[in-house]
Amino acid sequence: MPDSGYLALFLVGLLGGTHCVGMCGGIVGALSMGAPARWSMHLAYNGGRILSYGAAGAVAGALGAASLGLEGQVPVRLLLYFFANLMLVAMGFYLLGVTRVLAFTERAGQTLWRRVQPLTRRFLPARTIAQAFPLGLLWGWLPCGLVYSALASALTAGSAGRGAMMMLAFGLGTLPNLLLAGIFLARLNEFVHRSVIRTLSGLLVLGFGLYGLFALLRLMGWL
């Protein structure tokens, strides 16, 4: 995955704001109620959440790198590259308004979440940073089509470190929507939901994916 993948994942995280607030907005709103250190609580929660994304990216990057050591690694590399760019295309369509295109990935993550969700109860209600941070760590594994699609790109990173960096770029993109939820959310939503902004960003991410698929077809001699 070229370095443009970092920008693509950041944009997906930033412009997928409605989805992020819908998935995590309840927890973020709860952190704003009755907490004297409000900003600290939000930073702790989101820091834990993004750290989980980075850990998942490291695992994905390591798995992708390990698969390249298998016999017949060129077909494996091509398959991973194809899958990653196909998911970029899907994320581009998501930003353009075709939101159901990623629904199947969330259904696939329900099994893991059923095991993780009970662990979150011991940190609710979160009234301290010591509760908010581990809550964010756990909530980072919530089934989310955007997260899983970003992980598909991390598979092609070539190493655990690069996979982690790709997911951290995605996580930082999601940060403004959740960190500012309930404070400047109306103004932020007005920006990210403008049809021009979402269309341009969706076309940009879609372009990254289509360019990758086109390059793959040329590499295979099909074009």
139-176 pLDDT tens trace: 899 888 778 878 888 888 888 999 999 999 999 998 88
Q: What is the pLDDT of residues 107-128, one digit of tens each?
A: 777 888 889 989 988 988 888 8
CA distances from 183 to 27, 131, 171, 177, 179 (A): 14, 22, 20, 10, 9
Supply the pLDDT for residue 25. Answer: 57
214 against 2, higher pLDDT: 214
pLDDT at 18 over 90: no
pLDDT at 86 over 90: no
Distance CA 13, CA 149 (A): 11
pLDDT at 34 over 70: no
Collapsing DSSP to helix, strand or coil, 197 comes out as: helix
Confidence of residue 24 (pLDDT cuts 50, 70, 90): low
Distance CA 101, CA 91 (A): 8
Q: What is the pLDDT of residues 182-216, one digit of tens each?
A: 455 545 555 555 566 667 666 776 777 777 777 76
Query: Domain segments of the chain: what residues?
Result: 4-219
Supply the pLDDT for residue 182. Answer: 45
pLDDT at 137 over 80: yes
CA distances from 201 to 5, 15, 193 (A): 13, 7, 11
Confidence of residue 80 (pLDDT cuts 50, 70, 90): confident
Q: Does the predicted model carry a pTM greater than 0.75?
A: yes
pLDDT at 71 over 70: no
Whether residue 117 contacts residue 26, with contact meaning beta carbons closer than 8 Å, is answered with no
Supply the pLDDT for residue 67. Answer: 75
pLDDT at 93 over 70: yes
Supply the pLDDT for residue 222. Answer: 67
Q: Above pLDDT 70, what percent of the chain?
A: 68
56 against 209, higher pLDDT: 56
